[in-house]
C-alpha cells in the first residue's frame, strides 16, 4: 500500500544542514525526513574541531577568504568564498545570540581555536572537542519544539519524482508505514557526504551518498567530484570495512608533539617533508598509505603530546583508544588514512539552487564552490550554517506553490532478504576498489581498472533477482548499495578525467603539484555512458 502526502517543503537529512534549514524555514510547514531511526544521524554529530568564522577583533572575512582560497588550490569559486566568509561572521554571531552552547570565556566571548592552515584563531567550538554532538543536540531539541516541523525518523528517501525537468516529489520507504509518495514543490537535499564509499572512513555508515545519487539519476549537474579529503590519522584498531566510523586522532596531537612511526618503530615524516608531522594533511596521509600498502603497521606515538599538554587535553581521543583496548599512555596507536570529507557534490548557486528547478542542496552534499580542490578545516559546518539561511530565504521569497502535477513513482522491486550476502559482497568490493584505486594514490591504469570493475559490479547488482514488496530493511540495504556504487562510479570518472595532481587529488602518473591548472569539472550521469578513453 502506498500513501500520498503533500509536503510544503521537504527537507531530506537531519544533520546540521537539514536541521538548520528546517528551523530557518519556520513557521513554514516543513517535513524533515531522516533514514536513521533517531535524530540527527550523519557526520555532524561527530564533528570535533568546530565552526570557522572571522569573529575575532584581529581577524577579517578577507583573511578567512584568503586562507580558504589557498587551501582550495586554485579551484574555489572566489565569489562564493567571499560570501561564505562574510555571511559567516554574521551567522556565527546570530548563533551565539540565539544561545547555541558554544564554549565562552568568563566575559561571554566565544573561545576561538586555531586549526591547520588558518592564519588566525577563528574556530568556534562547543563542549570542548564535542562540537558536533553539542550543537546538534541543541538544534534537535529546537526542531522538536517547533510545531511547523514534522519529523519523520526511519524514512529512507529512494527517488526524486520529476514533472518534466522540475523536481516535484520524492518516493520514500518509511519504517513504520511502508511506502510514501511525498508531493512537494520545494525539496532540499541535506543528505551529507560519501565517506562509506571507501573501505576506511571517519564518516558514519549512513554516509552513502544517497542524495548525490538521487540527484544524479534525476539529471542534476554535479561538480568537483574527484576531490575527496582523507584524514591521515584515524585509529585503525578494527579490521577495515566494519560499518563503524574510524575514530579521529585529532591533528592537535601532532601539533603537541605526537610522532608517526613506521613498522620498525622509526620516525619517517622528517624524511618526507620539512614540517615533518605538521606537513599538510595530504602529504602525511600519502606517506602513511604507502607504508601500509607495503605491509607495515604505522603507529602514532601520543606520549610526547600527552606529556606536553597533559592527558586532560585529549579526553575524547583517550576514550576512543580505551574503547579499542589500547592504552595510549603506554604504547603507540595504529593509524590509517580514512576518507573524511567530499569537496564535490550537487552544484548549487549562492542560494543553494541546483540545476533542477524545485531542488536545493545544502551541507556536504552541495558543491557550492567554496572548497575547491581541498577544504579548509572547519569550513564545512560553516557552509551548512551560511547556506541553510540563504536557502530558507530563497524558498520563503518564492510565491506559495501548489503541489506540482507530478507523475507518481511506484515502489521499485528490490533484491529479497536472501540477497543480503550478495549486496554486502558487492558493497565491500566497491569500498575496497575505491580505497585502493581511487583514494589517496591514483594513477591512470588503476582508475581505468576501477572504472571497468565498478561498471561490472553495477551490472551484477542490477542482475540480482528482485521482488516487489520489500520492507524497510531490504529497501535501505539495496538503496544504499546502489547509491554507493553509482557515487563510486561518478567519483572514479571525475578522477580519471582530471589528468593532473591538485589539492586532494593525486595522480602518480601526473605527480607535479600543482598541475597545469585544469578548470573545475562538471559532470552529469550521462557522462558515465560517454567515457573518453
Ligand X SMILES: Cc1cc2nc3c(=O)[nH]c(=O)nc-3n(C[C@H](O)[C@H](O)[C@H](O)COP(=O)(O)OP(=O)(O)OC[C@H]3O[C@@H](n4cnc5c(N)ncnc54)[C@H](O)[C@@H]3O)c2cc1C
Element (H, E) at 505: none
| Whole-Å CA distances, 56 to 86, 208, 247 | 13, 37, 30
Q: What amino acid positions are annotated as catalytic residues?
A: 281
Element (H, E) at 341: strand 333-342
For ligand X, the closer CB: 50 or 369? 50
For ligand X, the closer CB: 100 or 381? 381
For ligand X, the closer CB: 112 or 261? 112
338 contributes a contact to ligand X by CB under 6 A: no
427 contributes a contact to ligand X by CB under 6 A: no
For ligand X, the closer CB: 198 or 496? 198
Task: Give Cβ neighbours of residue 381 (< 8 Å, ≥ 6 apart).
Answer: 16, 44, 47, 50, 51, 52, 131, 132, 135
One residue of 363, 470, 503, 515 binding ligand X per CB under 6 A: 363
Q: Which range, of 44-52, 77-85, 175-183, 419-427, touches ligand X by CB under 6 A?
A: 44-52
Element (H, E) at 161: strand 155-163
49 contributes a contact to ligand X by CB under 6 A: yes
Q: Report the relative pairing of strands 366-367 and 166-174 from DSSP bridges.
A: unpaired
Which ranges constitute the DSSP H helices of 158-244?
210-217
Element (H, E) at 463: none
One residue of 8, 10, 13, 370 binding ligand X per CB under 6 A: 13
3-class SS of residue 96: helix
CA 393, 355, 521: angle at the middle one, nearest 5? 120
Longest CA–CA span in the chain (Å) reads 67
For ligand X, the closer CB: 151 or 447? 151
Site track 254-273 with ligand X (rule: CB under 6 A), x = hit: --------------------
Task: Give Cβ neighbours of residue 121 (< 8 Å, ≥ 6 apart).
Answer: 56, 59, 112, 113, 114
40 contributes a contact to ligand X by CB under 6 A: yes
**Binding positions for ligand X, 369-398, rule CB under 6 A:** 378-381, 384
For ligand X, the closer CB: 205 or 304? 205
Site track 225-254 with ligand X (rule: CB under 6 A), x = hit: -----------------------x------
Site track 190-209 with ligand X (rule: CB under 6 A), x = hit: xxxx--------xx--xx--
**Binding positions for ligand X, 151-170, rule CB under 6 A:** 155-157
Closest C-alpha among 132, 91, 131 to residue 112: 131
Sign of the CA dihedral running 102, 108, 113, 119: positive
91 contributes a contact to ligand X by CB under 6 A: no
88 contributes a contact to ligand X by CB under 6 A: no
Strands (E) across 194-270 are located at: 222-223, 228-235, 259-261
Q: Which range, of 47-55, 262-270, 302-310, 347-355, touches ligand X by CB under 6 A?
A: 47-55
One residue of 5, 8, 25, 36 binding ligand X per CB under 6 A: 36
Element (H, E) at 126: none
14 contributes a contact to ligand X by CB under 6 A: yes
In angstroms, the first-to-last Cα distance of the chain is 46
For ligand X, the closer CB: 47 or 391? 47
**Binding positions for ligand X, 211-230, rule CB under 6 A:** 211
Q: How far apart are CA 250 and CA 232, in angstroms?
A: 9
Closest distance to ligand X from the beta carbon of 105 (Å): 20
Closest distance to ligand X from the beta carbon of 452 (Å): 28
Q: Are the C-beta atoms of residues 135 and 101 closer than 8 Å to each other?
A: yes
Q: How far apart are CA 15 and CA 248, in angstroms?
A: 19
For ligand X, the closer CB: 302 or 339? 339
Q: How far apart are CA 331 and CA 334, in angstroms?
A: 10
Q: Which range, of 33-41, 220-228, 279-287, 414-422, touches ligand X by CB under 6 A?
A: 33-41
Cβ-in-10-Å burial (0-12, 13-18, 19+) of 488 comes to buried
Under the rule (CB under 6 A), what is the footprint of ligand X?
12-18, 33-36, 40-44, 46-50, 131-132, 155-157, 190-193, 202-203, 206-207, 210-211, 248, 341, 363-365, 378-381, 384
Amino acid at each position: 500500500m502506498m500513501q500520498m502526502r503533500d509536503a510544503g517543503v521537504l527537507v531530506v537529512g537531519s544533520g546540521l544542514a537539514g536541521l538548520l534549514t528546517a528551523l530557518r524555514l519556520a513557521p513554514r510547514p516543513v517535513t524533515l525526513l531522516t533514514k536513521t531511526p533517531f535524530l540527527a544521524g550523519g557526520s555532524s554529530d561527530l564533528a570535533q574541531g568546530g565552526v570557522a568564522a572571522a569573529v575575532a577583533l584581529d581577524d577579517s572575512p578577507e583573511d578567512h577568504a584568503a586562507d580558504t582560497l589557498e587551501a582550495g588550490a586554485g579551484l574555489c569559486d572566489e565569489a562564493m568564498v567571499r560570501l561564505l566568509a562574510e555571511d559567516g561572521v554574521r551567522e556565527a554571531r546570530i548563533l551565539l545570540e540565539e544561545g547555541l552552547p558554544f564554549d565562552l570565556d568568563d566575559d561571554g566571548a566565544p573561545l576561538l581555536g586555531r586549526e591547520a592552515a588558518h592564519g588566525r584563531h577563528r574556530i568556534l567550538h562547543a563542549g570542548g572537542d564535542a562540537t558536533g554532538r553539542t550543537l546538534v543536540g541543541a538544534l534537535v531539541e529546537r526542531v522538536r519544539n517547533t510545531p511547523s516541523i514534522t519529523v519523520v525518523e526511519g524514512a529512507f528517501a529512494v527517488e526524486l519524482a520529476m514533472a518534466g525537468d522540475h523536481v516535484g516529489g520524492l518516493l520514500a520507504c518509511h519504517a513504520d508505514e511502508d511506502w510514501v509518495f511525498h508531493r512537494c514543490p520545494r525539496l532540499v537535499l541535506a543528505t551529507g557526504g560519501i565517506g562509506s564509499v571507501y573501505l576506511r572512513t571517519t564518516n558514519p555508515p549512513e554516509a552513502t551518498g544517497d542524495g548525490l545519487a538521487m540527484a544524479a539519476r534525476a539529471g542534476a549537474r554535479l561538480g568537483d567530484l574527484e576531490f575527496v579529503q582523507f584524514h591521515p590519522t584515524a585509529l585503525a584498531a578494527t579490521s577495515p570495512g566494519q560499518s563503524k566510523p574510524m575514530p579521529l586522532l585529532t591533528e592537535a596531537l601532532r601539533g603537541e608533539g605526537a610522532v608517526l612511526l613506521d613498522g620498525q618503530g622509526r620516525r619517517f615524516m622528517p624524511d618526507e617533508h620539512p614540517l615533518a608531522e605538521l606537513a599538510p594533511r595530504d602529504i602525511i596521509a600519502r606517506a602513511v598509505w604507502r607504508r601500509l600498502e607495503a605491509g607495515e603497521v604505522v603507529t602514532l606515538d601520543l606520549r610526547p603530546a600527552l606529556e606536553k599538554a597533559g592527558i586532560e587535553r585529549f579526553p575524547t581521543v583517550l576514550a576512543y583508544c580505551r574503547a579499542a583496548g589500547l592504552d595510549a599512555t603506554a604504547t603507540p596507536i595504529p593509524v590509517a588514512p580514512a576518507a573524511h570529507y567530499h569537496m564535490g557534490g550537487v552544484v548549487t548557486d549562492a542560494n543553494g539552487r541546483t540545476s533542477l528547478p524545485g531542488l536545493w542542496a545544502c551541507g556536504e552534499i552541495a558543491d557550492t564552490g567554496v572548497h575547491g580542490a581541498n577544504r579548509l578545516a572547519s569550513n564545512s559546518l560553516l557552509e551548512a550554517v551560511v547556506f541553510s539561511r540563504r536557502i530558507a530565504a530563497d524558498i520563503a521569497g518564492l510565491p506559495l506553490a501548489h503541489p506540482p502535477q507530478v507523475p507518481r513513482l511506484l515502489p521499485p522491486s528490490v533484491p529479497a532478504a536472501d540477497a543480503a550476502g550478495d549486496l554486502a559482497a558487492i558493497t565491500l568490493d566497491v569500498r575496497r576498489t575505491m580505497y585502493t584505486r581511487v583514494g589517496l594514490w591514483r594513477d591512470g591504469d588503476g582508475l581505468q581498472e576501477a572504472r571497468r570493475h565498478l561498471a561490472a559490479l553495477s551490472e551484477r547488482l542490477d542482475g540480482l533477482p528482485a521482488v516487489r514488496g520489500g520492507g524497510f530493511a531490504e529497501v535501505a540495504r539495496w538503496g544504499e548499495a546502489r547509491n554507493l556504487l553509482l557515487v563510486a562510479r561518478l567519483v572514479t570518472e571525475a578522477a580519471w578525467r582530471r589528468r593532473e595532481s591538485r589539492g586532494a587529488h593525486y595522480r602518480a602518473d601526473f605527480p607535479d603539484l600543482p598541475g597545469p591548472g585544469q578548470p573545475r569539472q562538471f559532470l552529469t550521469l550521462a557522462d558515465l555512458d560517454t567515457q573518453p578513453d
